[in-house]
Amino acid sequence: MVHGGDKFDQPIRIDARVLNELRAFIRFAPLHLPQQLAVIEAVQQRFATLPQVVCFDTAFFRPMPEIAQRFPMPQFLWDAGVRRYGFHGLSYESIVHSHPMAKQGRVIIAHLGNGCSMTALLDGRPVETTMGFTPVGGLMMSTRSGDLDPGVLVYLMDHQKYGPREIERLVNEESGLQGVSGLSGDMQTLLSVEGDNHQAALAIAMFCHGVRQQIGAFAAVLGGLDRLIFTAGIGERAASIRSDICHGLHHLGIVLDEAANAMNSSRISTVQSTCAVEVILTNEELMIARHSAASFAAGMSRA
C-alpha cells in the first residue's frame, strides 16, 4: 500500500480496526488508496477466512530525522500529518536487503521508473528522500511534475481558473516527460526520437539535470558519497540516461566505465572511481512476500 500515514511503520495483518484507520489516510493519497482498499475488501468478501498483510511504501522512511520529514510550515500542519513521508520504500528496502554494501557508509539510491525518487542512506538508514507529502513530489517523472513553486499553483487557480481536480490531473497525468515533450512519458520512446525532436531532447535533458542536481544535494547532506545505485525501469535499462546523469560528477569521485554501463553491468564505475556506481534490480514483490511470511509466522507463534 502506497501510504501508511504517520501511524504505520511496519507491515501489519488486516482487521476491521486497521482497515478503518487506513480509510482515514485516503486524504493523503486519493489517487492510490481507494483502489488498494477496494482490492483488500474484495478479497475479504470472496475469501472471508484468508488472512491479509499490508506492507507500506512509506514505512521505510519513518526513522528519518525530523529535520528531513518536516516542511517549513506551522506546527498545527505537522500535527495534522502534513510532512515528508517518502515513497518507493519497498524498493529501497529490497536493495538494502539484497546488497550488503548498501548498508555501509554514504549511499544514494535512485529509483528511476515511471515514478521516480531518490533516497540518501547513512549506514543503511534513510536520512533524506525526494518524494514528500504525496508521490507527485520530488523528481520530474513520466507524467508527474515533481516539486513545483507553490506560487505556480496559486497562479493556476487565480488566473487559469484551475480547481483542485484540474490541478491534480495536471501535476499527475499531464506533466513530467509527457508534458515537456508533448509526445510521451515513456523514456525509451523519447530516446528513440531525441535526435530529431527538440522537445523530446529537452525533456530528457531536464530529467537528467534534475537527478544530477539531487545527487549533489544528497551528497552534501551525507558529507560525501561512497556508493550510487540505480534501480527500476529507467535506472536498470537506460544506459544513456545513467551516463548523462553521471556526467559532471567527477568531483564526487564518480568515473563511469562506459563499456560496462552500455552492457547494464552490475558495476558501471571504473576501478579508479572512488565512488562505486552500480545497477541493481529491485524486487518489491519479494519484500512483500517476506514480510507476509514473517507476519504469518509471528501470528502462529503467538497462537
DSSP codes of every residue in 166-222? HHHHHHHHSSHHHHHHSS-S-HHHHHHHTTT-HHHHHHHHHHHHHHHHHHHHHHHHH
The three cell numbers locating residue 33: 488508496
**pLDDT tens profile 12-64:** 899 889 888 888 888 777 778 889 999 999 999 999 888 899 999 999 999 99
What's the whole-number average pLDDT of the chain?
93
Give the per-residue pLDDT at 32: 81
The pair phi, psi for residue 32, each rounded to 5°, is -110, -50
Tell me the residue range of the domain where 215 lies.
Answer: 84-142+181-302
Mean pLDDT of 221-237: 97
In a domain, 197, yes or no: yes
Name 45's Cβ contacts closer than 8 Å, sequence gap at least 6. none
Q: Specify the higher pLDDT residue, 41 or 302.
A: 41
Q: Is residue 251 in some structural domain?
A: yes
> Is residue 130 a part of any domain in this protein?
yes
What pLDDT is stored for residue 38 in this prediction?
A: 92
Q: Please give the positions annotated as active site.
A: 57
Residue 155 lies in a domain: no
- Looking at the predicted structure, is the pLDDT value of residue 160 above 90? yes
For residues 115 and 136, give the distance between their C-alpha atoms in angstroms, rounded to a whole number.
Answer: 8
Res. 94: pLDDT tops 60: yes
Sequence-ordered strand ranges (E) for 38-191: 53-54, 106-112, 116-122, 125-129
* Residue 131 domain-assigned (yes or no): yes
User: What's the domain count of the chain?
Assistant: 1
Look at residue 302 and tell me whether its pLDDT is greater than 70.
no
Give the pLDDT confidence score for residue 4 in this predicted structure. 85
> Considering the domain boundaries, does residue 23 fall inside one?
no
Q: Please report the pLDDT score of residue 104 as a whole number.
A: 94
β-partners of residue 133 are none
Residues 6+ apart with CB under 8 A from 90: 55, 57, 60, 284, 287, 288
Q: Which DSSP helix (H) or strand (E) runs through 228?
A: strand 227-231
pTM exceeds 0.95? no
Residue 301 has pLDDT above 70, yes or no: no
Distance CA 101, CA 293 (A): 25
- The Cα–Cα gap between 202 and 79 comes to 40
Residue 139 banded pLDDT, cuts 50, 70, 90? very high
Buried b (16+ CB within 10 A) or exposed e, 113-122: bbbbbbbbbb
Residue type at 104 in one-letter notation: Q
Residues 6+ apart with CB under 8 A from 210: 139, 140, 146
Q: Which residues contact 57 (CB under 8 A, 6 or more apart)?
A: 1, 2, 3, 4, 87, 88, 89, 90
Q: Give the pLDDT score at 210.
A: 98
Whether 50 is covered by a domain: the verdict is no
Residue 179: Cβ within 10 Å count: 18
Within a domain: 259: yes
Dist CA 21 CA 24 (whole Å): 5
Residue 27's pLDDT is 77
pLDDT at 270 over 80: yes
Does residue 258 surpass a pLDDT of 60? yes
pLDDT over threshold 60, residue 303: no
Spatial separation of the C-alpha atoms in residues 42 and 34, rounded to whole Å: 12
CA distances from 58 to 3, 89, 190, 200, 208 (A): 6, 6, 31, 32, 25
Q: What is the pLDDT of residue 300?
A: 52
Q: What's the whole-number mean pLDDT along residues 247-262? A: 96
* CATH number, residue 205: 3.30.420.40
| Cell 515537456 belongs to residue | 180
Residue 154, pLDDT above cutoff 50: yes
DSSP 8-state secondary structure symbol assigned to residue 86: -
For the stretch 180-201, pLDDT in tens is 999 999 999 999 999 999 999 9
Minimum mean pLDDT among 27-41, 147-161, 172-186: which range? 27-41
